[in-house]
Structure formats: C-alpha cells, structure tokens
C-alpha cells in the first residue's frame, strides 16, 4: 500500500469574522490532520478534535514553514494558517522561500508534497468594504514594517506612489518594537499630498471591537495607528458621501 500523498494547504482565514471564511478554506480545514500558524490564528481552530494544532510565535515564519513541510512529507494533510489572505504579507511567500532555499536532503523529502494556496479576504479589502470604496481606483499596498526591508525603501515607495496618485493601503503601520513606522510615512505624505487628503483607520475589522475613523491628513497624528490598524490613504479624488468614503472610478488630468 502506498502512503497517502502529503499536502500543505496555505490558507487565508479572512480578517476575523467566521462569515468571511470561504467554503474552500472550510473544506481544507475539514480535511486537515495538522495546522501550523501564529498562536491567535491557530486558536481559531481550537475545539476541532481531528486537527493537531502546532502554534508558534511570529517572527518564526521560516522555521514554521520547515516543520509544516516536514509534517506534510510524512503523508499528512497540513494547513498553514494566515489571517486575511495568505499571499499578502503572510505565510505563502515564507513557504516558497523555505522550499527555494532548502538543502538537497530537504528538497528530496519535500518533492512529493502537494502545495496549494487558498485565498482569503485580505484586511485592506475588508476595511475598504466597511468604509465604502476608498480603493475603487488604482492603488498600492505597502507593508510599513522595516523588519525585512530598509526604511528608506518604504519612504521612497510612498513618495513614488503619491506622485502616481495611487490610493494606498498600509499594513503593519507600527508596533511596539517599531513605533516610528507610521510617523515616517506621515512625514512623506505631508510633503507630497494636500492637507485635505483623506486618511482612513480601520482597526479589528469584522470583529466585535471594530473601529473606523476618517481624518484629513492635516489632522492625523501618529498614535492613530497601532499594529492592529489597517490604514488607507485616499488618492487626490477620494471623497466622503454621507458616512462613506469612496474613490471615483474616473480620473481626469
């Protein structure tokens, strides 16, 4: 009898509410034997007796990917959990990095693993929906964390994005270990954009403690964003209508 083929499904759980999980991801969870991920994501599967849970801290993404690949190579049906979408500043790239830089012995062991990525509702699109439609025209998506790239690259990207008049979604605007991330971004925005530019702060979207705020750039302060905030910067045409914020589809010069 051949052993069952191992599978690693890198899945997105969405921003928090169960109603934002896709059926595709639900089916993968139902078929899984093991689940790896950061503590709070793994906690969302607690109570499922058929799944062995392997929780780890953040900043341990590559080691987590290695263990998940090793487990899948034993013929198990393994989940790698991300919140939001696994392809946006989450675990999918970490898994492929680990594969790409594997030692020959690991490569041989992992060759038979079937790897799939199952999309989810990423934070910026959940936030955009709750706010209205601030990302309804061309936009860009920037991780403000300088853990894995130089702060100067981030500042340069924000500057060029403002010159292109993209709306922008900022992930990980700051954290306890990087309190200055969003403040640096604000300095660039103030140099490039008009004071009336709309800046949206969406915290814990789709959870019971969700908060939404919209301010003019001139009124924004750095402490409005923390590590659980998704920031959306409008483009020069972004407007309010009633309680909503939207970016028009048309753009004139």
Instruction: Indicate whether 247 belongs to the interface with a second copy (CB under 8 A).
Output: yes
CA dihedral 42, 46, 48, 53 (to 10 degrees): 40
To 10 degrees, the CA torsion angle through 172, 173, 177, 179?
A: -170
Stretch that binds a second copy, among 41-49, 52-60, 139-147, 221-229 (CB under 8 A): 139-147
Residue 151 touches a second copy, criterion: CB under 8 A: no
Which one of the spans 71-79, 131-139, 193-201, 208-216 is the region binding a second copy (CB under 8 A)? 131-139
Alpha carbons 9 and 117: distance in angstroms, whole number: 6
User: 17 or 227, CB closer to a second copy?
Assistant: 17
Least Å from the CB of residue 163 to a second copy: 6
166-195 positions binding a second copy, by CB under 8 A: 166
Least distance to a second copy, CB of residue 37, Å: 16
Tell me: does residue 92 bind a second copy (CB under 8 A).
yes
Binds a second copy (CB under 8 A): choice among 53, 56, 70, 96: 96
**Which of 59, 156, 207, 216 touches a second copy (CB under 8 A)?**
156
Torsion angle, alpha carbons of 59, 67, 122, 22, to 10: -160
Bridging pattern class, strands 77-82 and 7-12: parallel
Does residue 56 interact with a second copy by CB under 8 A? no
Return the closest-CA partner of residue 243 out of 145, 133, 156, 116: 133
Tell me whether residue 6 or residue 132 sits nearer to a second copy (CB atom). Answer: 132
Using the rule CB under 8 A, which residue among 6, 16, 119, 173 binds a second copy? 119
> What is the CB neighbour count within 10 angstroms for residue 191?
11
Restricting to residues 62-91, name those near a second copy by CB under 8 A. 85-90
Q: How many CB atoms lie within 10 A of CB 153?
A: 11
User: Which residues partner with 11 through β-bridges?
Assistant: 81, 118
Which of 115, 189, 198, 200 lies at the binding interface for a second copy (CB under 8 A)?
115
Element (H, E) at 185: helix 181-192
Question: Which position among 50, 59, 149, 216 is part of the footprint of a second copy (CB under 8 A)?
Answer: 149
Q: Which is nearer to a second copy, 71 or 145 (CB)?
A: 145
Q: 203 in helix, strand or coil?
A: strand
């Amino acid at each position: 009898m051949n052993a069952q083929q191992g599978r690693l499904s890198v899945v997105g759980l969405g921003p928090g509410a169960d109603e934002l999980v896709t059926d595709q991801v639900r089916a993968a969870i139902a078929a899984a034997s093991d689940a790896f991920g950061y503590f709070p994501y793994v906690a969302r599967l607690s109570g499922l007796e058929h799944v062995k849970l392997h929780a780890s801290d953040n900043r341990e993404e590559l080691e987590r990917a290695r263990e998940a690949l090793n487990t899948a190579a034993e013929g198990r049906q393994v989940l790698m959990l991300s919140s939001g979408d696994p392809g946006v500043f989450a675990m999918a790239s970490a898994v492929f990095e680990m594969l790409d830089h594997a030692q020959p012995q690991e490569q041989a062991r992992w060759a038979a693993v079937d790897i799939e990525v199952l999309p989810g509702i990423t934070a910026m699109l959940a936030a955009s929906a709750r706010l209205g439609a601030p990302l309804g025209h061309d936009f860009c998506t920037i991780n403000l964390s300088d853990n894995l790239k130089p702060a100067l690259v981030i500042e340069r990207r924000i500057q060029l994005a403002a010159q292109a008049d993209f709306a922008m979604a900022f992930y990980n605007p700051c954290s306890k270990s990087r309190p200055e991330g969003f403040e640096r971004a604000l300095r660039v925005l103030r140099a490039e954009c008009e004071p009336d530019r709309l800046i949206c702060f969406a915290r814990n979207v789709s959870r019971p403690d969700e908060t939404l705020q919209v301010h003019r750039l001139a009124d924004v302060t750095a402490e409005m964003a923390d590590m659980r905030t998704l920031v959306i910067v409008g483009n020069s045409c972004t407007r309010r209508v009633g309680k909503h914020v939207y970016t028009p589809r048309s753009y004139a010069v």
